[in-house]
Structure 1
Amino acid sequence: ALVRLRSEPLSVKILGSKSLIDFASLRFVSISKYIIILQEGFADAQNKTLVARAEEEMLHMDINSMIGSSMPLGMMRIGTIIHNIEMNPGQGAKLVRAAGTNAKILKEPASGKCLIKLPSGDTRWINARCRATIGTVSNPSHGMKKLRKAGQSRWLGIRPKVRGVAMNPCDHPHGGGEGKSKSSGSRGRTSVSPWGKPCKGGYKSASVKKKKKRLAAKEAKM
């Protein structure tokens, strides 16, 4: 059961403290609390009395539709909205953890794998024994929050970023020159990193073939 809510200053998510309760006997199974990433709408659902919730669960016993339930992907139905997804069984959640995000199960286990649609729109086959949590991550309005002053960024641990054109030639490829120029003749030069690698225009640092093989679902399995 949800014990209390707390906001994490350096995170985009809202966290909650939970304790394990046996609803059949309405007794605490574990007094020790553990921290979870709160799901959207989970706090409202927890406002019911323990007795009413216990009676409701005994009548339906459908944990597949309960927000906050954690279980292997192979036990979930098609179309279930999930987050906090493991990439390997027992490894811990790695995918879909940002505020307001969720994924969707598109296909039931085939040869021990489930097809998941990620927030980016990509699809991925994940081991059916990997666990996930039902629901959407809380705090969906995080992206609309504005930082009112530079000090708020510093509170979050974000340090200032100095532009390359404001540096000297010895410090950055864009440095030096007269006025606001990138110091490469009249035509300027391609935007590059401090180490001279192109940072715009589709410069690829990873193998496209390997990335597609790892992330995208194969047409034959669709």
Structure 2
Amino acid sequence: MVLPIVAYGDPVLRKETEAITKDFPKLDELIENMFETMYAARGIGLAAPQIGMAVRLFIVDATIFEDDEDLTEEEQKFASTFKKVFINPEIIEESGDEWAFNEGCLSIPDVREDVFRQPEITIVYEDENFKKHKETLSGIVARIVQHEYDHIEGVLFTDKLSPLKKRLIKSKLTNISKGKIDVDYRMRFPNAKKKR
């Protein structure tokens, strides 16, 4: 089932998220719905807060980058099979010189800005079967994971912009929160005027 994506300005995007336990109700169905929702919006990652749930869960599918000519052959190959569920993740290390990449977000449609992040991370997490993993990721895949991880920490990519950039997009963000934007996927706007 395709769920509405929560827009910028909704308090759930800033909430502290809670860990997920093995007895979490209908977790398989939730994960399936999240993938369906992400694909319907043509996204490459989706975190639980973006569908209104303050839990430590996000999904990533980087396979869209398998033919990206801006990436190395090795990065393309790795991205081509990178489709994962991250439960209760924790980034334990970030390293390397920060690099800029133009990021966007399903909760902040039509806003894209260069964001600086470190190129390599080590993350521990559980998969959908609660099997523990520890992985070191780099390049575009690390960036996608960092972006989604920020969501479960209550951080948005716009928080990482310079004060000037933030001022320049302020009215755009206000309009997004009010639903004054055209999107071709289901969204829930926190400050939209109710129709009578």
TM-score normalised by length of structure 2: 0.28
Larger radius of gyration: 1
> Larger helix proportion, structure 1 or 2?
2
